[in-house]
Structure 1
Amino acid sequence: MHILFLSDNFPPEVNAPASRTFEHCREWVAAGHQVTVVTCAPNFPRGKVFGGYKNRLWQTETMEGIKVVRVWTLISANEGFLWRTLDYVSFLIAAILAAPFTHKADVVVATSPQFFTAFAGYVVGLLKRAPFVFELRDLWPESIRAVGALREGRLLSMLERIEMFLYRKAAAIVCVTHSFRRILAERGIDPAKVEIVTNGADLANFRPRPKDAELEGELGLQGKFVCGYIGTHGMAHGLHTLLEAGAKIAARGETELCILMLGDGALKTQLKVRAAELGLSNVVFLDTVPKAEVGRYWSLLDLSIIHLKKDNLFQSVIPSKMFESMAMGIPIIMGVKGEAADIINFTQTGVVIEPEDAEALALAILRLRDDPRNYRRMHQNCSIAAERYSRPALAANMLAILESIAKANGSRTATDQQRADGK
């Protein structure tokens, strides 16, 4: 089977869509299938092309058996609704134009979070006469309403109509949370076409390990209790709460505790300015690092902080970084309600706090630090829970869905041909 996968994020980018797509495709190749990924020159989130790449009309490479086709796009930083939308639209057009130059596909998969890629997948499916599978990672455009990036009006209504059109046209929708399936059913989408393949972690790369002594020394973290946020510093994440918690911890005279914030995004500059205004010496900002290095930085953490803004929409979200934290054996402070909080409570791998409550975050950090018995229990539970979210197992689940869709389409095609021959 040939799987044609459209994603505007792919390694060496290190965000969640890039990691999930690569790790799934790698497993499908290992299972004997041919996989082609159409993507763009790596540039997320700074909007600058990574070293060794150029923003060309067409360039190809092979990564662990995956054929990667990179197309030209209008690259912009991960900030500003208009420029990011133009970036998305340029990928939509480029991916469609690239389709005729790829091999015949048995199934076309396109991944969100934004649905312009999914729209490209729908059109490419028509061109290739192959079923289109929508991998739904985010309820977009609802998420841009939640963060205030776009006001109510005709544009938002039009985007929502396109969203519903794509849900109806997809041969299958693969969601990353059960909440998404429930929401789609409430909006009139047939639940029978909606499958669940959650996010997970590559247990070969993320596993418990001692703190990286060299890195710890470079960053001046020896002997400190380190809480960390690793991921995008964007509008949805409410990271001002971490700074406020850092200020409250400092006000208590805690000098051996720090908050490490690794990543880039639209609000990082604002966060650094705010930290300086608060005089926070206990908050360390680090830029995004290559995927191969991420595990070293995870190893520095005693606690992982996962946080989103306080909005009902985010109760349906399961941040993928929680599975990497589990795999590393790092207890979690979860500032997200809903399904993500349910997982933490069920697996007993951390504590759940109210989103955007700096006092609750500061207290949770101090209580876990001062309760070694409870901390060790959560550490052990993390490793147990991570086995349930092994990326190879999840990739196999999604592959079974794609094989079923491709087989059903092949049967329909054969029947249609027989009918045509009989005329």
Structure 2
Amino acid sequence: MHILFLTDNFPPEVNAPASRTFEHCREWVRLGHSVTVITCAPNFPQGRVFEGYRNRLWSRETMAGIEVIRVWTYITANEGFLKRTLDYVSFFVAAVPASLFVRDVDIIVGTSPQLFTACAACAAGFIKRRPYVFELRDLWPESIRAVGAMQASFVLDRLEALELFLYRRAAHIVSVTNAFRRNLVGRGIPAEKISITMNGADLARFQPRPRDEELAAELGLQGKVVVGYVGTHGMAHALGTILRAAERLQARAEAKEIHFLFLGDGAQKKALISEAAERKLANVFFVDSVPREDVVRYWTLVDISIIHLKRTELFETVIPSKLFECMAMGIPILHGVAGESAELVTRENVGLVFEPEDDAALANHIIKLAHDPALRRQLSQGCIAASRAYDRTALAQEMLETLKRTCGQTVAHPAGAMSARHP
């Protein structure tokens, strides 16, 4: 089977969509299938093309057996609705023609969160008469409303109409959470058209490791209890909550050994650094994004991981992918996201849950874990045991079976033509 996968995030970018797509595609190639990825020049989240790449009209490379086609897009930092939309639309405009040059395709996958990769997959599927699958990673554009990035309801209403069209037009939808599936079913999408392939972690890469003492010394973290946030610093994450908790702890004598490590980039990074300076937080350290192969070194420094999103009903439907990396590394989690992911944390006994944006509760939980090594060991053991159910290799195989079934279905086209393709 030849799978054409459209995504605007791919390694060497290190965010969750890039990692999931790469790890799934790598496994499909290992199992004997052909995979072509259409993406753009790596630039997320700073909006600068990575060293060694250029924003060309067309370039090609092979990565772990995956054929990767990179197309020109309008590149901007992940900030400002208009600029980001131009970025997304430019990918659609470039990816559809690029897909026409990929031959002998059996099935086409477009991944969210933004809709225009799915738009490109839908258009390519129609032109090539092949089934298109929508991989649903986020309820976009509802998430734009949730973080307050845009209030223009007319534009968002039109985008939501497009969203529903893409769901209806898809031969199948692969959702990363049960809550997303329930949302779609409630909006009239047939339940049998939606399957679940959750996020997970590459257990060969993310596993318990000794602390990297050389790196700890370099960052001045020897002898510290390190509380870590690793990931995108965006509007959705409300990371000011962590800074307020750090300020609370800085004033407490029993928290002198606790230090906060922020690793990553995003639209709010500069503002967070400024806020930390204004609050005179000597217990907070910021590190820019590091190459994918170095991320695990930084995870080894973290004694307690924080996962946090803004308090909004929409985010009760998401399960942040870094949760599974923390579990695989055996790192106890302080989880400030309500809903399905909080239920998972409690059920699997991998961490403590607090209400989103409640810095006082977060500070108290940090003190509790920092002063209770036995509890940390218990939660760490729960993490390692639970992570086996979220092995990316097994999940990639699960999604592959869904693609095979979809590929074997007869697919109707709006013009009335019919096409059948079997793996």
What's the TM-score bracket when you normalise by the shorter of the two chains?
A: over 0.9
After TM superposition, list the pairs within 5 Å mapping 1:194-273 onto structure 2: 194-253=194-253, 254-273=255-274
Pairwise CA distance, 1:379: 0.7
**Cα displacement string for residues 9-28 of structure 1 (whole angstroms, at most 9, x for unaligned residues):** 00000000000000000000
Pairwise CA distance, 1:409: 3.4
**Cα displacement string for residues 353-396 of structure 1 (whole angstroms, at most 9, x for unaligned residues):** 00000000000011011122211111111110110000000000
Indicate the residue corresponding to 1:141 in structure 2. Answer: 141
**Cα displacement string for residues 255-275 of structure 1 (whole angstroms, at most 9, x for unaligned residues):** 211110000000010000000
Pairwise CA distance, 1:416: 5.5
Indicate the residue corresponding to 1:387 in structure 2. Answer: 388
Pairwise CA distance, 1:291: 0.4
Gaps of 5+ in 1: 419-423
Indicate the residue corresponding to 1:41 in structure 2. Answer: 41
**Per the alignment, in what secondary structure is the counterpart of residue 217 of structure 2?**
helix
The one-letter code matched in structure 2 to 1:124 is A
Indicate the residue corresponding to 2:21 in structure 1. Answer: 21
Indicate the residue corresponding to 1:371 in structure 2. Answer: 372
**Cα displacement string for residues 236-281 of structure 1 (whole angstroms, at most 9, x for unaligned residues):** 0010000000000001132211110000000010000000000001
Distance 2:196 2:151 in 1: 31
- Would the aligned equivalents of 1:35 and 1:66 in 2 still touch at CA under 8 Å? yes
**Per the alignment, in what secondary structure is the counterpart of residue 258 of structure 1?**
strand
Indicate the residue corresponding to 1:275 in structure 2. Answer: 276
TM-score normalized with structure 1 length: 0.97
Distance 1:359 1:411 in 2: 55
- Would the aligned equivalents of 2:335 and 2:345 in 1 still touch at CA under 8 Å? yes
After TM superposition, list the pairs within 5 Å mapping 1:72-221 onto structure 2: 72-221=72-221
Pairwise CA distance, 1:314: 0.2
The one-letter code matched in structure 2 to 1:197 is T
The one-letter code matched in structure 1 to 2:210 is P
**Per the alignment, in what secondary structure is the counterpart of residue 409 of structure 2?**
helix
**Per the alignment, in what secondary structure is the counterpart of residue 305 of structure 1?**
strand
Q: Aligned Cα RMSD in Å?
A: 1.4
Distance 2:232 2:82 in 1: 19
The one-letter code matched in structure 2 to 1:90 is S
The one-letter code matched in structure 2 to 1:302 is D
Indicate the residue corresponding to 1:356 in structure 2. Answer: 357
After TM superposition, list the pairs within 5 Å mapping 1:282-293 onto structure 2: 282-293=283-294
Distance 1:7 1:45 in 2: 15
**Per the alignment, in what secondary structure is the counterpart of residue 126 of structure 1?**
helix
Aligned length in residues: 416
Distance 2:150 2:213 in 1: 45
The one-letter code matched in structure 2 to 1:356 is E
Distance 1:82 1:265 in 2: 17
- Would the aligned equivalents of 2:227 and 2:260 in 1 still touch at CA under 8 Å? yes
Distance 1:75 1:284 in 2: 29
Pairwise CA distance, 1:157: 0.7
The one-letter code matched in structure 2 to 1:47 is G
Among all aligned residue pairs of Structure 1 and Structure 2, give the percentage whose two residues are the same amino acid.
Answer: 59
Q: Sort the Cα spacing of 1:115 and 1:410 in 2 relative to 1 into closer, same or farther, 3 A.
A: closer
- Would the aligned equivalents of 1:104 and 1:128 in 2 still touch at CA under 8 Å? no
- Would the aligned equivalents of 2:107 and 2:403 in 1 still touch at CA under 8 Å? yes
- Would the aligned equivalents of 1:130 and 1:409 in 2 still touch at CA under 8 Å? no
- Would the aligned equivalents of 2:225 and 2:257 in 1 still touch at CA under 8 Å? yes
Pairwise CA distance, 1:127: 1.3
- Would the aligned equivalents of 2:129 and 2:419 in 1 still touch at CA under 8 Å? no
Gaps of 5+ in 2: none
Pairwise CA distance, 1:150: 1.1
**Per the alignment, in what secondary structure is the counterpart of residue 313 of structure 1?**
helix
- Would the aligned equivalents of 1:122 and 1:170 in 2 still touch at CA under 8 Å? yes
**Per the alignment, in what secondary structure is the counterpart of residue 5 of structure 2?**
strand
The 4+ residue runs of structure 1 with deviation greater than 2 A are 409-412, 415-418
2:32 is aligned with 1:32 = yes
Distance 2:80 2:160 in 1: 20
**Cα displacement string for residues 145-180 of structure 1 (whole angstroms, at most 9, x for unaligned residues):** 000011142111100100000000000010000000
TM-score normalized with structure 2 length: 0.97
2:406 is aligned with 1:401 = no
Pairwise CA distance, 1:295: 0.2
**Per the alignment, in what secondary structure is the counterpart of residue 236 of structure 1?**
helix
The one-letter code matched in structure 2 to 1:36 is T
The one-letter code matched in structure 2 to 1:400 is E
- Would the aligned equivalents of 2:412 and 2:419 in 1 still touch at CA under 8 Å? no
**Per the alignment, in what secondary structure is the counterpart of residue 406 of structure 2?**
helix
**Per the alignment, in what secondary structure is the counterpart of residue 408 of structure 2?**
helix
Indicate the residue corresponding to 2:299 in structure 1. Answer: 298
**Cα displacement string for residues 103-127 of structure 1 (whole angstroms, at most 9, x for unaligned residues):** 1211000000111111111001011
**Per the alignment, in what secondary structure is the counterpart of residue 159 of structure 2?**
helix
Q: Sort the Cα spacing of 1:386 and 1:316 in 2 relative to 1 into closer, same or farther, 3 A.
A: same
The one-letter code matched in structure 2 to 1:408 is Q
Distance 1:47 1:103 in 2: 31
Q: Sort the Cα spacing of 1:417 and 1:73 in 2 relative to 1 into closer, same or farther, 3 A.
A: closer
**Per the alignment, in what secondary structure is the counterpart of residue 60 of structure 2?**
strand
Distance 1:265 1:239 in 2: 11
